[in-house]
Structure 1
Amino acid sequence: MSSVGTDTVAAAVAGDESAFGRIVERHRNELQVHCYRMLGSFAEAEDLVQETFLRAWRRRETYAGRSTFRAWLYKIATNACLDHLERHPRQPVPRPGGLPAEVTWLQPYPDRLLDRAAPGADEPDAVVVERETIELAFLVAVQHLPPRQRAVLILRDVLGWPAAETADLLEVTVASVNSGLQRARATLREKLPPRRTEWAPAGAPSEREREVLRQFMAACERADVAALGALMREDALFTMPPEPEWIHGRDAIISSWATAMAGPDAWGDFRCVPIWTNRQPAAANYLRRRGNTQFRAVTIDVLRIEDGLVTEVVTFGSELFPAFGLPATL
Structure 2
Amino acid sequence: MADAGPLGADEAAFIAAARSDDTAPFALVAERHRRELQVHCYRMLANYEDARDLTQETFLRAWHKRASFKGNAALRTWLYRIATNACLDFLDKRNDRTPVPSEPADLDSELLYLQPYPDRMLPEDPQESAVARETIELAFIVAVQHLPPRQRAVFILRDVLGWPAATAADALELTVASVTSALQRARVTMRERLPDRRLDWRRPATHELSNDERTVVASYIGAHERNDLDGLVSLLRDDLRFVMLPEAGTSVATAKEAVEGWLTGGLFGPGYDDWRCITTTVNRMPAAALYLRAADGPEYRLFTLAVLRIVDGKIAELTGFDARDKPWLDLPPTL
Same fold per TM (> 0.5)?
yes
* 1:11 match: 17
Residue 223 of structure 1 pairs with residue 231 of structure 2:
no
Three-state SS of the structure 2 residue aligned to 1:261 is coil
The 8 Å contact of residues 321 and 327 in structure 1, kept in 2 or not, is answered as no
User: Among residues 114, 120, 126, which one is paired with 1:118 in the alignment?
Assistant: 126
1:266 CA displacement? 3.8
Residue 141 of structure 1 pairs with residue 146 of structure 2:
no
* 1:122 match: none
Q: Judging changes above 3 Å, is the alpha-carbon distance between structure 1 residues 44 and 320 closer, same or farther for their aligned structure 2 residues? A: farther
1:17-28 aligned at under 5 Å gives the runs: 17-28=23-34
Three-state SS of the structure 2 residue aligned to 1:314 is strand
The 8 Å contact of residues 202 and 279 in structure 1, kept in 2 or not, is answered as no
Residue 196 of structure 1 pairs with residue 204 of structure 2:
no
* 2:4 match: none
Letter in 2 for 1:54: L
Three-state SS of the structure 2 residue aligned to 1:291 is coil
User: Among residues 90, 99, 119, which one is paired with 1:92 in the alignment?
Assistant: 99
The 8 Å contact of residues 225 and 257 in structure 1, kept in 2 or not, is answered as no
The 8 Å contact of residues 15 and 71 in structure 2, kept in 1 or not, is answered as no
Three-state SS of the structure 1 residue aligned to 2:50 is helix
Residue 212 of structure 1 pairs with residue 229 of structure 2:
no
1:13 CA displacement? 4.0
Q: Judging changes above 3 Å, is the alpha-carbon distance between structure 1 residues 77 and 322 closer, same or farther for their aligned structure 2 residues? A: same
Equivalences, count = 321
Three-state SS of the structure 2 residue aligned to 1:196 is coil
* 2:333 match: 328
Residue 238 of structure 1 pairs with residue 245 of structure 2:
no
The 8 Å contact of residues 13 and 63 in structure 1, kept in 2 or not, is answered as no
TM-score, normalising length from structure 2? 0.90
Residue 33 of structure 1 pairs with residue 39 of structure 2:
yes
Three-state SS of the structure 1 residue aligned to 2:143 is helix
* Whole-Å separation in 1 of the counterparts to 2:173 and 2:257: 49
* 2:174 match: 172
Residue 80 of structure 1 pairs with residue 86 of structure 2:
yes
* Whole-Å separation in 2 of the counterparts to 1:137 and 1:269: 31
* 1:123 match: none
Q: Judging changes above 3 Å, is the alpha-carbon distance between structure 1 residues 36 and 247 closer, same or farther for their aligned structure 2 residues? A: same
Letter in 1 for 2:286: P
* Whole-Å separation in 1 of the counterparts to 2:43 and 2:305: 20
User: Among residues 317, 324, 333, which one is paired with 1:312 in the alignment?
Assistant: 317
* Whole-Å separation in 1 of the counterparts to 2:19 and 2:289: 44
1:321 CA displacement? 4.2
* Whole-Å separation in 2 of the counterparts to 1:166 and 1:251: 45
1:116 CA displacement? 3.1
Q: What residue ranges of structure 2 are gaps of 5+ in the alignment?
A: 1-6, 200-204
Residue 54 of structure 1 pairs with residue 55 of structure 2:
no
Question: Which has the larger displacement, 213-222 or 14-23?
Answer: 14-23
Question: Deviations along 1:259-316, whole A, 9 cap, x unmatched?
Answer: 53324x3424111111111121100111111110100011100011111111111011
1:202 CA displacement? 2.5
TM-score, normalising length from structure 1? 0.92
The 8 Å contact of residues 11 and 74 in structure 2, kept in 1 or not, is answered as no
Letter in 2 for 1:150: R
Q: What residue ranges of structure 1 are gaps of 5+ in the alignment?
A: 120-125
* Whole-Å separation in 2 of the counterparts to 1:147 and 1:5: 29
Question: Which has the larger displacement, 25-34 or 6-15?
Answer: 6-15
Three-state SS of the structure 1 residue aligned to 2:248 is strand
